[in-house]
Amino acid sequence: MKKVITFILLYIAVYVGAMLFVQKRYNYDWTPISPREKLGQSIEDLLIKEGSPTLMTDKLPESPSKANISFEKASIDNKKSASIKQEEKLPTQDSAKESSEEINSQQTQQEITSEETAITEEKDEIDSAEETTQNNLQELSVDQEIEQEQNTPIAQESEKKKSTLEEQLAAANLVDIRSFRTKVFLRMKYATTDNFTERKLYNKAKCYLKKPVAQALVKAAKLAVEEEVPFWLCIYDCYRPTSVQKIMLKSVKEQGFLSKVSNHSRGMAVDVGPCNMQGEPLLTPNTFDTFSDASGAYYYGDEVPDIAIDNRTALQEVMKKAGFNTISNEWWHFDYKGAKNEEPLDIRF
């Protein structure tokens, strides 16, 4: 391929050189001649050869041939056509120029937009860094406030009470039922306002019991799920400080349902009811803390459905197998054996 190109270029160079040599040596005019002009020259040459130069001299200036006139007219038309085409090309060139300017303008706008985007991103990074710094300062401030509050006498006293509560519970052999990892449902009514006093009597929804009592309750919970019709235990109350018992005595209107000293205050009693595996109470003769005849452990009124009596009976049986005893006026209350041997306690929680 390279050889072919070289040959073509060499040929063109030789051809151009030959043309230049002929033009310079013989003063040859390479301007193209139209057929009509060539015909006029041929007639002139013919007249000169026949010895009549006067004919060409006399007639050509006065009356030019039609061929020359047509040639001149054609030349003028070609110039006009060329001028018109050139004028037609000018708008195109202007349009191209405008397109080029528009493209340059768009490129410039894109560059400006890119710079603005970069500036915006840099500003966002700076704002984010400032916000992070501010958050860190706020967190530090909060930590300092917490540290200051912990160093106040009130906070130190609260921490002292906390340690004292743990020490008092341990000294009284009271344990949290949750420490046994048994599936029971805590529904500590007196840690809410949903009770007959309509007051929140406990600060924590905790079930504390003497350790042997807690172990017996765990046994009862296991027996319940092994029943022919299994059920689970919902715990409503466990250890109850004596100061809370006094508040209850002032609030209750019905006599005979509360004693001045409760086995709850000894950590030896528990209020419990049957429930399903979702922790929803099963049907019983009445609800917890309802002081009526239906609260009796052996009440069989006609208004009580058989299923309610069956659920109550199943609860009593598993509790008795675990070492608990019922009392006559509350079907949900169970005392552990030897309860009277323990001293009542007033450890607030």
Q: Across the strands, what pairs with 185? A: 234
Active site residue 330: yes
Q: How many CB atoms lie within 10 A of CB 234?
A: 21
Query: Could you tell me if 193 and 199 are in contact, meaning their C-beta atoms sit under 8 angstroms apart?
Result: yes
Query: Could you tell me if 219 and 230 are in contact, meaning their C-beta atoms sit under 8 angstroms apart?
Result: no
Of the listed 147, 330, 342, 343, which one is catalytic?
330
**How far, in Å, are 142, 184, 233, 333 from residue 236 at the CA level?**
38, 11, 10, 10
In this structure, the dihedral spanned by the alpha carbons of residues 226, 232, 236 and 240, taken in order and rounded to 10 degrees, is 30
Return d(Cα 218, Cα 29) in angstroms, integer: 128
Residues 6 or more apart whose CB falls under 8 angstroms from that of 188 comprise 202, 205, 206, 207, 235, 236, 237, 238
Return d(Cα 162, Cα 308) in angstroms, integer: 42
Residue numbers annotated as active site? 330
